[in-house]
Amino acid sequence: MAGPLDGVRVLDLSAVVVGPICTHVLCEHGAEVIKVEAPTGDLLRHLAGRGRSAGMNGKFLNFNRGKRSLAIDLKSPAGIAALRRVAATVDVFVTNIRPDAQARLGVDAEGLRAAAPRLIHCSITGFGSGGPYAGRPAYDTVIQGASGVAGCFAASTGEPRYVPFLVADHTVGLIAAQMIGFALYRREKTGTGEAIEVPMFENMAAYIMQEHLGAHSFRPPLGPPGDHRVLSPDGKPLPTKDGYICVSANTDAQAHGFFEAIGRPELKTDPRFATIAQRVQHTKDYFHIRATSLGGRTTAEWLDIFDRLDVPASPYNTIASLIDDPHLRAVGMVREEDHPTEGATWAIGAPNRFSGGQAPARPPAPRLGADGAAVLAEAGLTPDEIDTLRAEGVLIEGSP
């Protein structure tokens, strides 16, 4: 079936992760995404390790599948003028460049929406406008530290750390896609576009506060912040005879099933563990029992037992083993694909589906500038104008 965003055109003036994740989701559901890159290419083409050729590493391939690449020099007035002509043809404009740079280029919400009031302009920033941090540069780890993500590790283990994947970038990229979806829905009803600001710091801080303020939500506080269950140092994959397993037992039925599984049925009536409220009060003891009770059987044996007792459990995957997970293979999340220039690759499928089925698979990620001339022609530039941009080094068509 056609994706729900079929016919929506998106101009993506973003780089690295948070913006490209946003537009990746839009593309995955049918939108046409035109990726604007500097003459040297998106920074991610160079940051993310080895590929078979320059600028085509695995992370770039995964984040930019299905997009078209327009590589143009925005330090040139001619390049900016060409970009603005393309912007006049799209429904959605996404950027994560800083607001002062947007204004300087004339691609801020005010500059673009004056001529195109139906445009949905989405600006993803490190910090929201109006506060003392506004305009500061930011990357994922900066936001993890500022928002309390690293502080959760300190509360759990005594040492602040970053989540070892770009959790802020991915989370806020998804939120930006959600906000664009809301704006498209309202445009259908009102006919008008929207200027959206999606700040990384505020979004991640909201997540942490929602999760961990707890008793500190009240005035005066009823206790210190932090959900001690989530912060427990025993809240991690549990060792088995031959590896690890991931188990959680929260309801009374699940906890009692777990006690049966480990051969400790007497714990079902233990005043520390009989009910949810009692287990919450004795989380440290409960989690310690869970963490130290599974060493006598293999992971496969425990998975079979927990499945029969309806206790939530799953295999533990490493980064390398995830690609071979039988469930992911069965639902089409991992498949082989031949990239036209990079050869055989693993392609990551769309995880979410509508009742009519998935949108058609998107083509592989583009080489730098692969679609520039075609995109400019669609925006009304003549062949002579495109040739001039090419001759002046403003339009780039080649490898980074």
Residue 215 lies inside a defined structural domain of this protein = no
Of 290, 315, 340, which residue sits at a domain end? Answer: 315
Residue 212 lies inside a defined structural domain of this protein = no
What CATH number does the domain containing 285 carry? Answer: 3.30.1540.10
Looking at residue 184, what is its pLDDT?
98
Residue 4 lies inside a defined structural domain of this protein = no
Structural domains in the chain (count): 2
Give the model confidence (pLDDT) of 335-382 as tens digits: 999 999 999 999 999 899 888 776 778 899 999 999 999 999 999 999
Same domain, 366 and 287: no
Map tokens 């204004």 to a residue.
103
- Report the C-alpha gap between 186 and 192 in whole angstroms: 8
Residue 320 lies inside a defined structural domain of this protein = no
**In angstroms, what CA-CA distances link 100 with 41, 107, 109, 175?**
21, 10, 12, 23
What CATH number does the domain containing 196 carry? Answer: 3.40.50.10540
Instruction: Provide the 8-state DSSP code for 51.
Output: B
Q: Among 57-71, 190-204, 224-238, 351-365, where is mean pLDDT lowest? A: 351-365
**Can you give the residue range of the structural domain that contains 359?**
9-206+332-396
Question: H helices of the chain, where?
Answer: 18-28, 44-47, 58-63, 77-87, 99-105, 109-113, 140-147, 149-157, 167-190, 200-212, 252-261, 276-281, 283-291, 299-308, 326-330, 372-378, 383-391
Same domain, 346 and 254: no
Same domain, 311 and 338: no
3-state secondary structure of 230: coil
Give the model confidence (pLDDT) of 64-121 as tens digits: 999 999 999 999 999 999 999 999 999 999 999 999 999 999 999 999 999 999 999 9
Burial category of 181 from C-beta neighbours within 10 Å (exposed 0-12, middle 13-18, buried 19 and up): middle
Same domain, 342 and 305: no
Question: Are 200 and 127 contacting, i.e. CB atoms less than 8 angstroms apart?
Answer: yes
Same domain, 50 and 95: yes
Same domain, 95 and 146: yes
Same domain, 298 and 341: no
Of 315, 348, 374, which residue sits at a domain end? Answer: 315
What is the β-pairing status of strands 194-199 and 120-125? parallel
Same domain, 56 and 170: yes
Q: How much is the pTM?
A: 0.95
Residue 380 lies inside a defined structural domain of this protein = yes
- Report the C-alpha gap between 215 and 224 in whole angstroms: 6
Give the model confidence (pLDDT) of 16-31 as tens digits: 999 999 999 999 999 9
Q: Which two tokens stand for residue 109?
A: 């919400």
Q: Which two tokens stand for residue 390?
A: 């090419």
Same domain, 388 and 300: no
Same domain, 311 and 339: no
Helix axes 149-157, 140-147, angle to 10 degrees: 60
